[in-house]
Amino acid sequence: MDRVFHGLADPTRRAVLERLSSGPAAVSDLAEPFSMSLPSFLQHLDVLESCRLVKSRKAGRVRTYQLTPQPLKVAEGWLEKQRAIWNRRLDQLDTYLADLKEQKS
Amino acid sequence: MSSAIIQTNSKLDLVLERVVDVPRELVWAAWTKPEHIKKWFTPAPWMTVDCEIDLRPGGIFRTVMRSPEGQESSGAGCYLEIVPNEKLVWTSALGPGYRPAIRAAGTGSCEELYFTAIIMLEAQGARTKYTAVAMHGDEATSKKHEEMGFYQGWGTALDQLVALAKTL
């Protein structure tokens, strides 16, 4: 879940995902609408792949990306989304409280 | 003074219970002091960069969050009930002084939909059990908010992508 949010937390990556929703695409096609350098763009693709939002396949010299819709289904439903946010929030609180206690002792 | 009535609805509300191995006073401080709130309140990778707290009924609870890309979004709610070390209630549906909140589309608010939060603390020896309740309005209202663009950052993208994923 955390990884999904991280993957979605950037406009370039979201645009790539939207593009891929209409079908697989090669790196050059994906990069074309963006004015950033290719290495920077490839980093975004790496993030998406490490979040398992997309997967890639290399054929000859062409690497093609496609969506892996599975992780998104985890975040389905507005109440579940709120639950995820609150769970993350409280996880952070509990970690923080443990740190505070340690500092005091 | 009697306590306010609370009725939860499992279709609209979240009830989360946790037990932490710290005294109740510390848990209370973490929920009510800006310097603490800034350290944990916003789910990563967003951060809380500013927080204002006026701990009395009608007093402001405001946080400013920042995305990893530097996009900021703020939301101001107000406290409804404060029982030190026991119970804290605030809402995002009312602003400071109980004035009903108005959020035009595109204000960049990170408060994804109006909610009322109830935090209850209970000492269990040296430990503390806390219960966090997040109450929401009806689902139709929340859906409308989504359509109007209240969801920022991951929210908008997520909704769109979930819809897209379903069509694949």
pLDDT category at B155 given cuts 50, 70, 90 is: very low
Per-residue pLDDT reduced to its tens digit, B46-94:
889 999 999 999 999 999 999 888 888 888 999 999 999 999 999 999 9
- Same domain, residue pair A16 and A65: yes
Residue among B16, B30, B146 whose CB faces A86 most closely: B16
Under the banding of pLDDT at 50, 70 and 90, the label for residue B2 is: low
More confident residue, B157 or B20: B20
Interface test with B, best of A67, A88, A90 (most B CBs within 10 A): A90
B142 at interface of A, judged by CB pairs closer than 8 A: yes
Is residue A52 domain-shared with residue A9, that is, in the same domain? yes
A60, A11: one domain: yes
Q: Can you tell me the distance from the alpha carbon of B83 to that of B121, in angstroms, rounded to the nearest whole number?
A: 10
Does pLDDT of B30 surpass 90? yes
- Domain extent at residue A32: 2-69
Whether residues A24 and A61 fall in one domain = yes
Query: Do residues A43 and A79 share a domain?
Result: no
Specify whether A89 is located in the same domain as A104: yes
Same domain assignment for residues A79 and A58: no
Contact of B116 with B78, CB cutoff 8 Å: no
Domains in chain B, number: 1
- Tokens in use for B56? 């009395």
Number of H helices, E strands in chain B: 4, 7
- Cα–Cα distance, B162 to B158 (Å, whole number): 6
Nearest to B154 among A8, A67, A95 (CB): A8
Place of tokens 């609370």: B6
Query: Helix (H, G, I), strand (E, B), or coil: what is residue A22?
Result: coil
* Residue of chain A with shortest Cα separation from B39: A96
Which residues 1-60 on chain B approach chain A with CB closer than 8 angstroms? 11-12, 14, 16, 18, 20-22, 26-27, 30, 36, 39-46
Of residues B134 and B154, more confidence is placed in B134
**Interface confidence (ipTM) of the complex:** 0.72
Neighbouring C-beta atoms of residue B99, cutoff 10 Å? 10
| CATH value at residue B41 | 3.30.530.20
Q: Is residue B5 part of a domain?
A: no
Phi, psi of B152 (to 5 degrees): -115, 165
Q: Is A69 exposed, middle or buried (0-12, 13-18, 19+ CB in 10 A)?
A: middle
Task: Check whether B112 has a pLDDT greater than 60.
Answer: no
Q: For the residues A69-96, what does the mean pLDDT come to?
A: 76
Q: Which of B26, B44, B68 sits opposite A101 (nearest CB)?
A: B26
Quote the pLDDT of residue A80.
Answer: 77
**Structural domain contains residue B7:** no
Residue A90: pLDDT band (50, 70, 90) is very high
**What's the structural domain count of chain A?**
2
pTM of the model: 0.61
Is residue B3 in some structural domain? no
Domain of residue B108, residue span: 14-167
Q: What percent of chain A has pLDDT over 90?
A: 36
CA dihedral B91, B18, B50, A6 (to 10 degrees): -110
pLDDT tens-digit map of A9-57: 788 888 888 888 778 899 999 999 989 999 999 999 998 988 888 889 9
Please indicate if any CB of chain B lies within 8 Å of the CB of A89: yes
CATH number for position A63 = 1.10.10.10
In this structure, are A17 and A52 located in the same domain? yes
pLDDT confidence bin for B12, thresholds 50/70/90: confident
